[in-house]
Amino acid sequence: MNRLNEEYEKLHPKIYAFFYAKTGNQATAQDLCHDTFYEACKNIASFNNHSTLSTWIFSIANNLLKKHYRKNKYQQSLMQKLAEMPEAEIHSLEELAEIHEDTKLLWHHISKLDDASREIVLLRIYGELSFADIGVLIGKSENYARVTFHRLKLKIQKLLEVTL
């Protein structure tokens, strides 16, 4: 259980950021984050060391997110919401800081990616997962995840240069 506690301390902010990026809702992100670690604690005996503990926990998070989407028929990602959000919905300085113009522009470009590409970018940026872990989660090789992320990063950088 000590190992799981250590992983919790390390992964909690990353998993929360992952859920927040996917749902755009703080309460939902907190609930899903809590559920992820609850499921991990409950099923720790089934962890078989075929991957790292953090990859296993992220796979639980990913499965809970899919379940959440199915349950609520939630179809829009956070990036699409940000692209469509009118400026009038920003109510405080804290929210304004969270949705800085450069960040909104980045989110806009990420939202235009196909689902698989967007997943790789979010897992790398917000989940801070290694390419090996991303490869396991998406069912591809580490090299595929690395090369795809690099190409996507270059594509987004080019789009940002054109926009700015």
CA distances from 103 to 22, 56, 110, 156 (A): 15, 29, 10, 12
Can you name the CATH fold of 1-75? Rna Polymerase Sigma Factor; Chain: A (1.10.1740)
Give the type of residue at 135.
G
d(CA 142, CA 69): 27
Return the pLDDT at 74. 35
- Per-domain residue ranges for the chain? 1-75, 77-164
Prediction pTM value: 0.57
- In this structure, whether the domain defined by 77-164 belongs to CATH 1.10.10.10 is answered with yes
The two structure tokens encoding residue 106: 């980045």
Return the pLDDT at 92. 54
Low-confidence ranges of the chain (pLDDT < 50): 74-79, 82, 88, 90
d(CA 105, CA 111): 10
Query: Residue for token digits 């639980």?
Result: 60
Return the pLDDT at 98. 52
